[in-house]
């Protein structure tokens, strides 16, 4: 269940990056057309990254079966990428006066908490249900 929650929150956060692009670009005015395109590209790139991570985690979790080892690696990579994005934002945008940039590292790091338990699991039969059924924590 945590993987689904993490996926939905990350997808919504991606939409939160795409929605205010016009206002963000307007905040840089006056700006050349090329610089406007670059700002739009970068904001959309982060939104697409969030959507990709969310889709990958949700699909891998929903598909369930198959190789649990591969699923664990998907969770690890997703968690690692979210941590890297949180660190990047903490070192750059979060140092500005914009509140949303200050929230971003906390949100991205928090999603890691939803993905990471699965990232530290290995396939072994244990008797509980949910996304980690059949998994246990690696020692």
Instruction: State the CB neighbour count (10 A cutoff) for residue 3.
Output: 23
73 pLDDT more than 60: yes
Report which of 23, 69, 18 is spatially closest to residue 48, judged by C-alpha positions: 18
What is the rounded distance in angstroms from the CA atom of residue 15 to the CA atom of residue 114? 19
User: How do residues 85-114 score in pLDDT, each as one tens digit?
Assistant: 888 888 887 787 777 778 777 776 665 444
Across the chain, mean pLDDT equals 76
For residues 11-40, give the mean pLDDT: 89
User: How do residues 21-35 score in pLDDT, each as one tens digit?
Assistant: 898 888 888 999 999
CA 45 remoteness from chain centre: 13
CB 78 within 8 A of CB 56: yes
pTM of the model: 0.67
Q: Where are the domains of the chain?
A: 2-137
């Amino acid at each position: 269940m945590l993987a689904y929650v993490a996926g939905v929150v990350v997808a919504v956060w991606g939409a939160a990056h795409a929605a205010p692009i016009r206002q963000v670009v307007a905040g840089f005015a006056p700006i050349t057309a090329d610089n406007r395109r670059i700002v739009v590209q970068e904001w959309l790139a982060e939104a697409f990254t969030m959507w990709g991570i969310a889709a990958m985690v949700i699909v891998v979790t929903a598909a369930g079966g198959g190789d649990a080892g591969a699923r664990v690696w998907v969770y690890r990579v997703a968690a690692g990428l979210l941590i890297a994005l949180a660190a990047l934002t903490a070192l750059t945008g979060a140092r500005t006066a914009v509140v949303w940039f200050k929230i971003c590292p906390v949100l991205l790091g928090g999603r890691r908490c939803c993905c990471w338990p699965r990232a530290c699991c290995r396939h072994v039969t244990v008797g509980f249900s949910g996304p980690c059924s059949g998994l246990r924590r690696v020692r």
